Every structure is written in structure tokens, then in C-alpha cells.
Structure 1
């Protein structure tokens, strides 16, 4: 992997041959993914899909002492309004001064589509520098300037000579990819190119004596970069930091809520620790190539089994396996005792999960260990990292090869059809699809929440207690399902849910 020399990163369809349309079972998907032909599958009808601009904003909008310039019509980036208050709260939770979000939209008009928006971009960047004096200006390129051919990089190269802030171009045009997760690559690409390295920082070079340098290197030898792109709450961060510090490791968290200067010496670490390959493979593989820093990216620490795997992988790198096993034994013994009552409560219950491929597979294993039967999973996309985790899931969870696996982001009509046929006791989903499932009357457990914990050993207990509360009082969603309906004809629910996916495996017999 060597894309950093290019101004724009490749999309996931090209880089990872990611699949965005599939319908079958877990067993089918495992076999078909090994044939290498999933990339060719497509939909003859698509309802909607995610935008990588919005995901890019969600990933890096929390950066401290930075201003976002969104080069777009006024509507793009409007979702940031809902994040403004959340951002302040979580800054305070990190004992930081609460500034909130600062962004400028270039407000491209119909006239700008014809004459170009370069002048507005220039004005916006200079305004960001003049009014806020930030350490970094993050410039997000949207669909419109990409289509009309604005020379974003040329303008920003010229403006960098006029402003003191580091300018970070982020090419995240929504129309370029059907795989929304390309946004993670776009943001990391901009950060690595423009913020990482001593020559990119605003702080003066540190001069150390030989003794000080030896001490500094000793600290680096036990330092890990823990990567959070907004996919874990502050409580989750604290749980993972607790576990890593129990192994006597130093922890640096990037990129959420980080400062631009934090990236200057981000390569001074012994190991990069990912919690999700979907988020971080672009970052960790480039860091390994550029700076020789190895990484751990096997799984996300959700549930006992995957938290154990995550800790063992980290301990294996540092040669502290014995210390890790003592920690794992102590944590799991206490946790198993605490969750035993829930296993009896959840026995015989069924669940359906939808979200990112890595998160749904690990959360499904957590629910299985709590007593649930997993009827189906629905991933936003699927690539080689999902293949590895799916094979581990099939090995760890008996009879899981018969469960449904649907791939597709935003295809709510497929989800509605599936749910009408398999009728789970619990729906576990991400923002954007939970409302639809609620209107069908299903109890909803959010796959992720910024104020809740899901990761590590503490996360297992917290998930169990929240699911228990939801299942004990599902009256609201049942009433909602009885009094509302989704905008699909009855004839649609009678069809195979994967009717509009080419080359999909028919599962009519499984769910009919």
C-alpha cells in the first residue's frame, strides 16, 4: 500500500474490492467471498446509500483547535448541527476546554456551478484563519466542486503560503463511491499527508541529552496508538485504556478529540492498536510502511471472546502473554458470574443485527454468549477483513452458517422484508434504520451510542443490562408497530427480499 504520494486516495471498491450487494446465508457468504467474485454483485434497484462526506465530518469534526471548511452547497454538512452540543459534552469529559464545533460553508449557488467556486473557497479559508487562528483548517471537498472541476489542491497549496494554520484537504465527494467507509480512508489520507511528521508540527524540535533520549525511547517502546474514529464512547475509551494500562502500556488516542499537534509525533509509538479494520486499515498499513510501526487489527473488543483475542494479540507483540492471561482470567471470572442471571433470561430469544461488518459480527457473538439465537445479520459492505472475522464467527458460534447475511447500506426495503419473515425478538441496529424497524413493532437496541459503553469486559455487562430493560418493556414499539406502517405494498413482503440483487443466493426456503 502506497497511496499517500497521491493527492486523492482510491475508493474501497478499487482498493479492497468491497462488496455492497449480497443476499444469502453466513455459510453462503463465506464460500462466495473466497471465490473472489462478490465485487461483481449489484442491485437492479437501490433505495438509498450513505454519503462519505457526512461520515468524514463525523469522524474528524471533534478535532480540537481546528476549523472545518465545507466546500459545498449549504445543505452539505447540515448534520453537524446535531453534533455541536454532543461535541462540547465530550470535550468536557476529557477535561478539556469546551469550544464546540466551528465550521464555514462556502454556500455554492447555481451561479457558482457555472462559473466555479474557487473564489469562495479562497475566501472561506482566509476567513477561518483570520477569525479563529486555528492550528489546522480541514477542507472537505463535496460533490459539486468535484463535478465542476474546481482546482482544490492548487488553491490550497497557494493558500498554505498565506496562512499559519496547517491546511488539510479531505477529498470525500459522496458520488465517487457506494462504500461509505471510503470516508475513513479520505480523512486518514489527509491527516497523514499534512499533519504527521516533525516537519509538519508547530512545536519546536526537542533537543535531548543522551540520558533523556534513552528515557524517551523507553517510553516509546511501551506506547500504543489507540485508534478511535468516533466509534466508541468516552466510557469505552476509559475501559480500553484501563485494560491497556493494566498491562503497563502507555496510551495515545487518535484521531477523535485530538489536537493537530498530536499527529506530529504519532509515529513515535511501538504499536498501532485498531478496534475495527473497517476504520483503520488505511492508517495502520501506511504507518507500517512509512515508519515501520506494526499493528493489531484482528477484531473489535466487543464481547468476552473478542476482547480476549484483542488483548492476547497486543500482549503477544510485547511479550507479556503471562501478564495478559492473569488479567483475562480475573476479568472473565468476575464477568461470567455477573452475567449468569441474564443467560437464563435471554435463553430462547432471537436477534437480528445490522451495521458495519466488524461490529455486527462481534456483537452477534456477544449476544449468542448471552443466550440469544442470531437469525440474521446485515452489513453495510463486506471485504477481506469481514471474511476473516466471519470465518471466526462461524467457528465460534454453532449452526451460524444457516443465519441470513444481507449486505447493503441504506436498503431499508430489504430490511423491512426480511424482518417481516424472520420476526426476531430484538433488533440491533445503527442510526438511520432503527426507526424503520421500530415502526414494524420490534424492540430496538442501538448498535452504538456516544453515551453508552459496549467495549471490553465492562461493555458486556452493560449491554446485557440494557438489553434486559428493553425486552422487559417493549410496549412503545409494539404500539408503534400496531398504529403505523412503512411505505411498501403488501405484494413486496410476499417476494424474496433479495429480488433486486443480481447473482444472490436465494434463501426463500430458509425464511419463507
Structure 2
């Protein structure tokens, strides 16, 4: 993999086996994925679609000592308003002196579409430098300047000698990709091209000694723990606790990181991903550019996957015995802690919705707790989920819907499957609540979800909402569904072209 020489990263449709439209059985999806037959799946009707620019901003807004400039109409940064409070709160958990979210817009109008928006970028950069004195200024390119041909990289290269802040363009134009997760590649592309640099080497070291020096460096105990979008502060503390129990030093990035941490990232012995959907672009480039190996096999959610995650990391450092002892202690303590909840979970049927890696690992965790997983919804699907889905128990009986948004498919699926509880991200939970289902957020910045403590927290919270589901039940009895009754009589995936329907995996 070597895309860093290019100004813009490739979209995931061009780089991976990927789709965001599928409905059918898990084994059929894995089979189609491995044959390379999922890229062409489309919907003849689509109700909603995520934008990679908004997802890029969700990551960039967390960087400390950084100003974000959204190059485009002012509405393209509108989502920042809703995140300003939480960003400030969670920045200060890492650094009490950190500032809140600072973002500007070039506010392009109709005249700028004709004349070009480069002057607006220049004015915004100089204003940000003079007013805030940040370490980094990230300039996010939206659809409009990309369509009219603004040379963002060339302009920032000209401005760089005139400002102290490091200027970094991020190309995340929403129209380029159907796969919203392309945003992670866009953010990492901007980091790799502008915020990381090779470690400085002593020029007096002769060539034969250089490789020995690099080898010693890689045997150090510092690891990069990557936390894009799926890790709360509580998760960071839990995973750091487990890694530190193996004697490792943890550098956490990119979310809520300081610019200096991106430079330090090039000196680590190992890059540890919690989700291949987020991190494959970054870790493969760090391996190719700086020789840093990586762990990318699973996500530490639930007992099975957390055990595997720890063993994979320990194997790199030759710490297998210490890891097995740690796992044995943690598993025993967790089993004792969740035993009181198990009777309440027996027979409960669950529908879960999240990113592909997270939702599969969550399904394994729910099965461990004694619940029955009757359906999955993933925002998109790519090759990194094949092995995880292959290992999921009872996968032959579990339908999976791949969809970014598409609440009309979710509503139909809920009516067909009749789950007892729904796990999903906040933007989908409201739709599920209208059906009267108890809902549990699958991720929140204030909750622990990963590692062994995360499994206990999920069990504790699930038990609480199952004990008292009255609010959502009353909500469903006093609100009408936004869809006609005849839609619920149709197949939930009938608008996915070339798709295998729910009962059609014969």
C-alpha cells in the first residue's frame, strides 16, 4: 500500500471488497465477499446516506491544539455545533488545559463558485493563526471546492512559510464515496502526509548498524493504541490497564491527541488497532513507511475477542505466559460478576446495529451473556469482517442487513423479527424506540464497552433497561409509524438490487 504520494486517498470502493447494501444470511454474505461479488450491490431506493465529511469532522474535532477550517458553504460544518460541548469535555479529561472545539468556515456562496474559493481559505488561515495560535490548522475540503477545482494543497503549500501552525489539507468530499467509512482514510491520509515524520537518525551510524538500531527500537515496549470513533475515555483506561499489566507503555491516538503524539507514533514498537474498519489504512502505511508492525485481527469487545486481542499483542513481545495468566484472572472475575444477571438474559432476543466489526463482536458478547442474537445491521461490510463473521455461533440462523442509515429497512426488519431488545448507535435508537423496544446505546463517550470491564458494564446496563421498559412501550402506543402498513408486508430488502432476500438463501 502506497497512496501517500497522492494528494487524495482512494475511496474504499476502489481499494477494498466493500458494500453498503445487502440483506440476507451471514454465510451467504461471507461467500459473496470472498468471491469479490459485493461491490456491485445497489439500492433502487435509498432513504438516507451518510457523508464522509461529517464523519471526518467527528475525528478531526477531537484533536488538541488544533483549529478546523471547513472549506465550503457554512452548512457543511453545521454538525460541529452539536459536538462542541462533548468535545470540550472529553478533551479536558486528557488535558485540563485543553481548549474546546475551534472551527471556522470559508462560507462559500454563489459568487465563490464562479470565482473560486482560494482567497477565502487564505483569509481563514491567517485569521486562525493570528487569533488562536494553534499547533495545527486542518483544512477540510467539501464538495463545492472539489467540484470547482480549488487547488487546496497547492495553496496551503504557498501559505505554510507564512504561518507557525502546521497546515494540513483533508480531502473528504462527500460525493466521492457511498462508503461513509472512507472518512477514516481521508483523516489518516492528512495525518500521514503532514503530521508525521521519519525518526531522526544519527548520520554517523554506518549502514550495517542502522538495521540493528531499528531492530532494537522495535523491541521497545511502547505501543500505539488507535482510538478512532469507537473508544470512550473509559474504554481507553480499561484497555490501557490490560496493556500495562503486560508491562507495555501506551500512546493513544488520534482522537483527543496532541500534535506531538503523531510524531511519537513513528517510534512505537507496535500499532494496535481496535477495529480494522477504522485503522487498516493508517497501520499499513506506518508499516511501509516506518517499519512498524501492527495488530489488526479483532476488536476487544466481549470475552472471546478480548482474549484473542491480548494474546495477539502478547505474542509480538513474547509475553504469552503473562497474557494467559492475566486472561485467566480476568475471565474468572468477570464470570463471577455477571452471574447474577444471567437468569434475566435467558431467552431474550436481540437485534444489534453498528459498524461491521463492532456489531459482530457485540453479537458474540450477547451470546456469551446468554441472549439470542436474531439479527444484525452493519453500516457497511468489507473483507475485514469475513473471519469474524465466520466464527460467530449460529450465524446460519442470523440475518444481516448492511445499510448506512435506511431506517425503512430497519423498521421492516424489527416488525419481522420481533426482538425483545435493540442495541444501536444513538441515531438509530430513536427509530427502534418507536416500536416499543428497550434500547441500549452501543457506544457513548461516557460509557465503558470494551475489555472485561466493558462486558460487565453492558450486562449491568442491559439488566437495568430490561427491568423497566415502560417508557418506550408507552412511546410506541402514542406514536404512529412513519411508514404505510403495506410496507411491513413486503420483504425488508426488496429494494436492494441483485440481493438475496431474507427467506431466499436457499
TM > 0.5: yes
Provide the C-alpha distance between the structure 1 equivalents of 2:125 and 2:93, rounded to a whole number of angstroms. Answer: 30
Provide the C-alpha distance between the structure 1 equivalents of 2:462 and 2:127, rounded to a whole number of angstroms. Answer: 48
Partner in structure 2 of residue 132 of structure 1 = 132
Provide the C-alpha distance between the structure 2 equivalents of 1:509 and 1:421, rounded to a whole number of angstroms. Answer: 15
User: How much does 1:209 deviate?
Assistant: 13
Residue among 484, 496, 499 paired with 1:489? 484
Provide the C-alpha distance between the structure 1 equivalents of 2:273 and 2:7, rounded to a whole number of angstroms. Answer: 25
User: How much does 1:241 deviate?
Assistant: 0.4
- Within 5 A, what are the aligned runs for 1:31-430? 31-197=31-197, 221-393=220-392, 397=393, 399-430=394-425
Provide the C-alpha distance between the structure 2 equivalents of 1:181 and 1:219, rounded to a whole number of angstroms. Answer: 30
Provide the C-alpha distance between the structure 1 equivalents of 2:15 and 2:198, rounded to a whole number of angstroms. Answer: 29
SS at match of 1:137: strand
- The answer (yes or no) to whether the contact 2:218–2:270 under 8 Å persists in 1 is no
- The answer (yes or no) to whether the contact 1:220–1:268 under 8 Å persists in 2 is no
Residue among 473, 497, 506 paired with 1:478? 473
Provide the C-alpha distance between the structure 2 equivalents of 1:64 and 1:507, rounded to a whole number of angstroms. Answer: 46
Partner in structure 1 of residue 15 of structure 2 = 15
Provide the C-alpha distance between the structure 2 equivalents of 1:423 and 1:77, rounded to a whole number of angstroms. Answer: 38
- The answer (yes or no) to whether the contact 1:89–1:98 under 8 Å persists in 2 is no
Q: Root-mean-square deviation (CA), in Å?
A: 2.0
- The answer (yes or no) to whether the contact 1:351–1:375 under 8 Å persists in 2 is yes
Provide the C-alpha distance between the structure 1 equivalents of 2:254 and 2:227, rounded to a whole number of angstroms. Answer: 6
Q: TM-score, normalised by structure 1?
A: 0.94
User: How much does 1:493 deviate?
Assistant: 0.7
Cα deviation code 1:226-250 (max 9, x no counterpart):
0011321111100000000000001
SS at match of 2:377: strand
Provide the C-alpha distance between the structure 1 equivalents of 2:204 and 2:100, rounded to a whole number of angstroms. Answer: 40
Provide the C-alpha distance between the structure 1 equivalents of 2:336 and 2:456, rounded to a whole number of angstroms. Answer: 10
SS at match of 2:134: coil
Provide the C-alpha distance between the structure 1 equivalents of 2:234 and 2:23, rounded to a whole number of angstroms. Answer: 35
User: How much does 1:121 deviate?
Assistant: 1.0
Could you say if the C-alpha distance between residues 385 and 139 of structure 1 is closer, same or farther in structure 2, counting changes exceeding 3 Å?
Answer: same
Comparing 324-333 with 258-267, which one deviates more in the overlay? 258-267
Partner in structure 2 of residue 443 of structure 1 = 438
1:29 pairs with 2:24: no
SS at match of 1:407: strand
Provide the C-alpha distance between the structure 2 equivalents of 1:240 and 1:434, rounded to a whole number of angstroms. Answer: 27
Provide the C-alpha distance between the structure 1 equivalents of 2:230 and 2:204, rounded to a whole number of angstroms. Answer: 40
Partner in structure 1 of residue 496 of structure 2 = 501
- The answer (yes or no) to whether the contact 1:60–1:229 under 8 Å persists in 2 is no
Provide the C-alpha distance between the structure 2 equivalents of 1:341 and 1:95, rounded to a whole number of angstroms. Answer: 38
Instruction: Give the paired residue count.
Output: 499
Could you say if the C-alpha distance between residues 66 and 228 of structure 1 is closer, same or farther in structure 2, counting changes exceeding 3 Å?
Answer: same
Provide the C-alpha distance between the structure 2 equivalents of 1:232 and 1:286, rounded to a whole number of angstroms. Answer: 22
- Runs of 4+, deviation exceeding 6 Å: 205-210
1:467 pairs with 2:462: yes
Provide the C-alpha distance between the structure 1 equivalents of 2:119 and 2:220, rounded to a whole number of angstroms. Answer: 48
User: How much does 1:96 deviate?
Assistant: 2.9
- The answer (yes or no) to whether the contact 1:377–1:406 under 8 Å persists in 2 is yes
- The answer (yes or no) to whether the contact 1:436–1:486 under 8 Å persists in 2 is no
Provide the C-alpha distance between the structure 1 equivalents of 2:22 and 2:380, rounded to a whole number of angstroms. Answer: 9
Provide the C-alpha distance between the structure 2 equivalents of 1:253 and 1:457, rounded to a whole number of angstroms. Answer: 19
Provide the C-alpha distance between the structure 1 equivalents of 2:430 and 2:343, rounded to a whole number of angstroms. Answer: 29
Provide the C-alpha distance between the structure 1 equivalents of 2:132 and 2:89, rounded to a whole number of angstroms. Answer: 21
SS at match of 1:265: helix
Provide the C-alpha distance between the structure 2 equivalents of 1:273 and 1:11, rounded to a whole number of angstroms. Answer: 23
Partner in structure 2 of residue 202 of structure 1 = none
Provide the C-alpha distance between the structure 2 equivalents of 1:51 and 1:170, rounded to a whole number of angstroms. Answer: 14
Comparing 2-11 with 189-198, which one deviates more in the overlay? 189-198
- The answer (yes or no) to whether the contact 2:27–2:390 under 8 Å persists in 1 is no
Structure 1 gaps, min length 5: 200-204
Structure 2 gaps, min length 5: 206-211
User: How much does 1:508 deviate?
Assistant: 3.7
Provide the C-alpha distance between the structure 2 equivalents of 1:198 and 1:267, rounded to a whole number of angstroms. Answer: 7
SS at match of 1:58: helix
Provide the C-alpha distance between the structure 2 equivalents of 1:374 and 1:283, rounded to a whole number of angstroms. Answer: 32
Could you say if the C-alpha distance between residues 342 and 376 of structure 1 is closer, same or farther in structure 2, counting changes exceeding 3 Å?
Answer: same
- The answer (yes or no) to whether the contact 1:374–1:400 under 8 Å persists in 2 is no
Provide the C-alpha distance between the structure 1 equivalents of 2:216 and 2:128, rounded to a whole number of angstroms. Answer: 38
- The answer (yes or no) to whether the contact 2:273–2:294 under 8 Å persists in 1 is yes
Q: TM-score, normalised by structure 2?
A: 0.95
SS at match of 2:462: helix
SS at match of 2:74: coil
